[in-house]
Amino acid sequence: MSRPHGIPLPSAQRSPDSDETESACADDKQGQPRPREGVRQLTGAERVRTLVESNASVSLTLIGARDSHEHEEFGTGMPAARTVTPDGDVILLVSGESAAARAAAHAQDDDLTAVIEITDVAPVSVPHRIRGRAWLAGWLTPVRGDDRAACAALLAERHPVGELLGLSEASDLPYSARPAWMMLRLEVGEISVDDLWGAEHVDPEDLAAAEPDPMVAHESELLQHLHAAHGDRIGELCGLLGPRGARGMSAVPLSLDRLGLRVRFTGAAASSFDARFDFPEPVTDICGLRRAMHTLFSAASH
């Protein structure tokens, strides 16, 4: 099956009265601060893959499809779980009564186009709290036959939730006897991301090859802990900024991945800006993260 192309993605919206590009993750006139220094970063594909595997809010919209009870294009709500297959397809667990499940049950294999929108919100209170958005567009089909067990195992590995129980008994039921939950496959044709690093398009083949960041399952809890229990140490990191400085500004840990920590500095007399603090080497687990954070704090205290 060939992949779809030409589905519009709202990655970066341009104002009709300006030559400037407006970030899709801006939440007020100033918009998200962008990093000023060249630092190591995840690739676009790794950032999208991480968002797909994260707990960020996700919505699913069917393009041009019409429900039998509605007269407009419709969104389908929030899938209960999602993951990515080795081939780069996105597997979604949705309610069997959802618009997506109804539409997919009746659609041919290549005529139901859909867009997944993922919205990433910082787990700590900070100005410009939306950290980014990603869009994945393609063709939506039910997961059928022998693929069901493999896809259910992938979902259970990433999201060990009760909704997955009983999927094997719900296979290939007719529309009048829809299962409580249905697995759908999005064969991805177009990907766009607009986040703290900027806006870009991602090749679907790169998504298949990318791995989610190893910190994704722990990031929210870790950032909340750093903010609540080590806020003073986070503030001391301003000493590593050199002449740029951030004395007198509030410091909030904004994001965390295997390569480093991003801190947002805000103050009444100055605009917000982000500073990225690279770890000495990429971390792969919590123990490695503790060592990396200790190194950062030690450097800031000298």
Q: How far is Cα 124 from Cα 87, in angstroms, rounded to an integer? A: 34
Which H, E and C letters describe 227-277, residue by residue?
HHHCHHHHHHHHHHHHHHCCCCCEEEEEEEECCEEEEEEEECCEEEEEEEE
Q: pLDDT of 192-205, one tens digit each?
A: 999 999 999 999 99
pTM for this entry: 0.81
SS3 102: helix
Please, what are the averages of pLDDT over each run of 10 residues along the chain (302 residues)?
A: 46 37 45 56 96 94 62 61 94 91 80 93 93 96 91 84 50 50 94 95 96 95 97 91 74 96 82 88 96 95 83
SS3 159: coil
Q: What is the pLDDT of residue 302?
A: 79
Q: What is the pLDDT of residue 50?
A: 97
CB 37 within 8 A of CB 172: no
Q: What is the pLDDT of residue 27?
A: 46
